[in-house]
Structure formats: C-alpha cells, structure tokens
Amino acid sequence: MPEPGNVCLSGSGAMMKGEMGLAEGQSISNDSRIVELLELLAKNQMNAQAEQVKQMCDYVGTLEQQIVSMTEEIKSVRQELVSMKEDTISKHVKDSLQKTADILQKQCNSLKQQVKEVREKICERAGKIADAAKRKGKRALYKITQVTGVRKKLDAIKNKVDRAIDRMDNLEKAVGECQRQQEQSSQRENLLPECAVAEPQPEYGAELFEQYRREHGAEQAVQAAGQTVKQEVEKSR
C-alpha cells in the first residue's frame, strides 16, 4: 500500500511530452496523458476515480462516432438528391431538402469541433494532474474532479447531437418519400404506353383508335391513348 501523501508511479515511467497527443480518429483512451493518469490511479487503488475517467473517455468516443455516422448519412442523402430527376420532384422541394442537408452538415462540423475542444481539455487536465501527482504525491490525484467535471459540457453537446440526429432522421424520411414517388412515377410511365397499345381506352374505342392511327400515325396514336390513361390515373387519385 502506498504511504499517505506519496504516489506510486507506474513501472513504465512517465510518458515523454513529445509522445502526447493523438492522430486524427484515434480514441481518447489512447492519449498518453489519459493512459498515464489511469495507471497512476490504478497503482494508488483509486479504482472508482479511474472508472469515472474511463466512462468519460467512452462518452467522448460515443459522441465522436455519432457525429461521424451523421456525416456519412448526410453524404449519402446528398448523393440521392443529386440523382433525383426534377421532372418527378419539384425544384422547390429538392432545393429545400438540399438546404436542410447543408444546415445539418454545418451543425455536424460545429459539434465535431466542440467535442474536439472538450476532448483536448480533458487530456490537458489529465496530464497536469499526473505531473502534479509525481511531484506532490497522491493528494494531487484527488483533483481528478477537474477531469470528470467536464461531464456537464459533454451532456450539453450530447443534447445537441440527439436533436441533430432527429433532424437527420426526418430528412432521410423526406428523401425516402421523394424516392418512392419518383419510382411510382417511373413505373407509371413505363406501363402507360403498353396499356395504350394493348387496350385503347374507352374514350377512343377500337375503331376510333385505328382511325386516329391511320390519320396521324401509330406513334401519335399511342401518345394520345397514353395521355388518356394518364388522365384516368389522375382522376382515380
């Protein structure tokens, strides 16, 4: 057991300052300052405090992953919007959906930056506490609340992320509905000429259809019959 006021240092020794920091995309748990602090807490039987730090790291990781997922979903929605034909979806609707995607992307960028700043603050404070513990002893480790106290800021960011996810879900539903309407419109367009040729509509009748075909040509006759089918479809809605 370590003596009161003394700190038990890990066998691996302190990390060099040049080794601090993380590459883009790496977990905060791998930051040398966090690793060293957790080692010191474990060596000094401060398991509850170590668990709190681990939970904070997991929290940060979850937020980062949620933001990455949203960014990928926004990218997918943008691609779907680009592929939509404006003859089956009004330009106004398409522009509105694209604008919503742009706003969500800006929110994601902002949230990503906020998490990054809090993450660095956690690591910076962890490093200072570890350095102080090596100089002053175990009592310096009780300042761990400077790290765990950042939880409130993470909670505030989490609320923003949750709201952004809800908006993302609504956007995906709207785009999905537009795609469904586009597919239905495409199916109707593919079926109408076949229906017109196979069975002219009653308004024309077989004899009238044949007469129209002789006078105007088969192509125009099919188009006229097809237009009648479209009108019937519109009436039945």
* DSSP string across 115-127: HHHHHHHHHHHHH
- CA 160 to each of CA 110, 115, 150, 237: distance values in angstroms, whole numbers, following the listed order: 10, 11, 16, 41
> What tokens were used for 29?
């748990």
The structure tokens listed for 229 are 């089918």
Half-sphere exposure of 230 (CA within 13 A, CB side): 13
Which pLDDT does position 168 carry in this prediction?
92
| Residue, of 191 and 226, whose pLDDT is higher | 191
What is the average pLDDT score of the chain? 76
What's this model's pTM, rounded to 2 decimal places? Answer: 0.67
Distance in angstroms (rounded) separating the CA atoms of residues 190 and 182: 12
92-126 per-position pLDDT tens digit: 778 888 889 999 999 999 999 999 999 999 999 99
More reliable by pLDDT, 82 or 237: 82
Nearest to 185 by CA among 91, 109, 106, 86: 86
Q: What is the mean pLDDT of residues 165-194?
A: 75
Angstrom distance (rounded) from CA 54 to CA 70: 25
Sign of the Cα torsion 138, 142, 144, 146 reads negative
138-165: average pLDDT: 94
Lowest mean pLDDT among 25-34, 66-75, 224-233: 224-233
Check: CB of residue 115 under 8 Å from CB of residue 60. yes
What residue spans define the domains of the chain? 17-189, 199-237
